[in-house]
Amino acid sequence: MSHMDTDPLLRASGLRKSFGDLEVLHSIDLTVRKGEVVVLIGPSGSGKTTVLRSLNGLETPDGGRIEFAGGPDLDFAAPLRKRDRLALRDRSAMVFQQHNLFPHKTVLQNVIEGPVQVQKVPKAQAIAEAEALLDRVGLREKRDVYPFQLSGGQQQRVGIVRALALKPQLLLFDEPTSALDPELVGDVLTVIKELADEGWTMVVVTHELSFARAASDEVLFMDGGVIVERSAPQQMFTNPQHRRTRQFLDRILNPLHERQD
């Protein structure tokens, strides 16, 4: 929280998205300030991942706006041009649920691919920066191995390093621990929490409510393609205002608890 700036880095307003007859986002409004950590929680299928993919240009909303401080300023009432999509990608980097590492490239090659090929960073500089990033997550000695030689947690930490290597203004995490064995979750969450403490701006989709409570500045609960409730984590987890939020949190926090629905 101490790192948070009052100036918005990102404003999304009125985002709508349908896949065929299924409307997955209904007029989503989201503001993310510099240094802020915003966490999206909610049941599967509630639209959380579609929000992230829209912010990164992986999905094109059917309506609404996305505005970054300093540009781009995109109005989805008009067709999205390739350069607009690339401008979104230039501002943000995404860490995926399933790592999405190139299996035929080493750890180091995975990390430097974006800086060298897309951002045209000199290779020697990209390697030095990649090694420093790998060192900070405890994986420098793995620089020359291939993804299949790593544990799931190590692969996900490489995925985080690959995103950091692009030096984005906004980090997007899509359920970064959901594909991991339970004993590996903590290592990945620790890295993300350290990044939050350093002042990185993030939007995180997660079911790890303890992380959301500890690391976020704002928590948004989504259901059915709408933001049902948004508040500071203390308010969200101790005194949620909406019945649907209370129901969801009860089922996550007390999975064996008998309910009278």
Listing DSSP states for 104-171 in one string gives TS-HHHHHHHIIIIIS---HHHHHHHHHHHHHHTT-GGGTTS-GGGS-HHHHHHHHHHHHHHT--SEE
Domain that holds residue 39: 8-253
Over its C-alpha atoms, the chain yields an Rg (Å, rounded) of 19
Residue 3 within any structural domain of the chain: no
- Beta strands of 122-240 (E only): which ranges? 170-174, 202-205, 218-223, 226-231
Residues 221 and 228: their CA atoms lie apart, in Å, by: 6
Residue 209 within any structural domain of the chain: yes
| CATH code of residue 234 | 3.40.50.300
Residue 126 within any structural domain of the chain: yes
Give the residue among 55, 62, 56 at the shortest CA–CA distance from 20. Answer: 62
- What is the model's pLDDT at position 2? 47
Residues 204 and 92: their CA atoms lie apart, in Å, by: 13
Q: What's the length of the chain?
A: 261
Beta bridge partners of 40: 205, 220
* Peptide bond between residue 72 and the one before it cis (omega within 30 degrees of 0): yes
Are the CB atoms for 180 and 153 separated by under 8 Å?
yes
Residue 2 within any structural domain of the chain: no
Q: pLDDT in tens for each of the 261 residues of the chain?
A: 445 667 899 999 999 999 999 999 999 999 999 999 999 999 999 999 999 999 998 999 999 999 999 889 999 988 888 888 888 888 999 998 887 899 999 999 999 999 999 899 999 999 999 999 999 899 999 999 999 999 999 999 999 999 999 999 999 999 988 888 888 888 889 999 999 999 999 999 999 998 999 999 999 999 999 999 999 999 999 999 999 999 999 988 887 665 544
Residue 168 within any structural domain of the chain: yes
Residue 131 within any structural domain of the chain: yes
Name the domain count of the chain: 1
**Parallel, antiparallel, or unpaired: how do β-strands 92-95 and 170-174 relate?**
parallel
